[in-house]
Amino acid sequence: MNLLKSLCLASGISGFEDEVAKLIKSSLQKSCKEVRVDALGNVIGIKGKGKKKIMLAAHMDEIGLMVKHIDDNGFISFVKIGGIDDRTLLNQRVIIKTKKGDVRGVIGAKPPHLQKEEERNKVIKHNELFIDIGAKNKKDAEKKVSVGDPIIFEPNFGKLSNNVFYGKAIDNRLGCYIMLEVMNRLPADIGLKIYAVATSQEEIGLKGARVSAFGIDPDYAFVIDTTISGDTPHIKPQESSLRIGKGPAITITEASGRGVVTHPKLRELLIRVAKKNRIPYQIDVLEGGMTDAAIIYITKSGIPSAVISVACRYIHSATGVFDMRDVNYAIKLLTKTILELEQMES
């Protein structure tokens, strides 16, 4: 649990993953024979000695913001990095990660008391918002921050009930944690060559997965990510039937087929292993949204790929909610599946 908390609290918007990458690298060095970082910042841990190569991928980047402009009064305009609903931004506390250190701020807007009626009836777009860092003026603000500085939501992590937790960047620090725990549990002499890849820049185009899959050229790939839970008000069952606490989700297809279409061999293997070991699971058919698997499975001559996800509430916002039982079941399912695959390929 301490590792998961540290992962969620760490900084790492797309393209600026150094802090979380350092944490993941340190963890992989405890379980892997070799750990390296490639040209795009992907952290890759390797263990095992078989001929068949298995790639595990979990993206380590998070959504966030970036400083675009500082006005004469010291207020900061920003752009979004990754998919963020503008409705979630107002009044959020943020941290600007500067070369000199962290600078705290609050996202503000024109007060509702001063808005005209037509203004109150519309969503405030991110380009109408600003960040207040308490600066006196532009000169004062520029002593602290610079254009191009990355911005994260204020880190948070905690428990809501016995099994239900909340945290920043659970998309996809949950996947990273699951991958790290699987690598800890797999035997050092496993008869497969396992590549654990913490991918970079997933939220802005699956970029890290593209280059790492090309370089590794695995025989099979398993992507670990999060997905949308449908157990909150105003979501219809036909929109999402997934529930937190009901086990990890096995993806059939993403983005109505525009993303990955899970390879039948791996899909059937995951379901068979889940049933054999009495691991609860759910089936995920995504109408929108993609994971790293969408690019991995069409790399080079094609790589059979599958996705295991943890259903979460409020992903792509400052704080998400998840059930720790789903995380633990995902660890067990992926570990057992790899060991089963070892027997099949030996």
Active-site residue list: 202
Nearest to 108 by CA among 122, 135, 138, 128: 128
DSSP string, 201-259: --TTTSHHHHHHHHHH--SEEEEEEEEE---STT--TTT----TTS-PEEEEESGGGTS
Which H, E and C letters describe 153-167, residue by residue? Answer: ECCCEEECCCCEEEE
**Pairing between β-strand 101-108 and β-strand 93-98 as defined by DSSP bridges:** antiparallel
Q: Distance (Å, rounded) from C-alpha 87 to C-alpha 126?
A: 9
| The token pair that represents 98 in the structure block | 């500067």
Count other Cβ atoms within 10 Å, centred on residue 101. Answer: 9
Element (H, E) at 307: strand 305-312
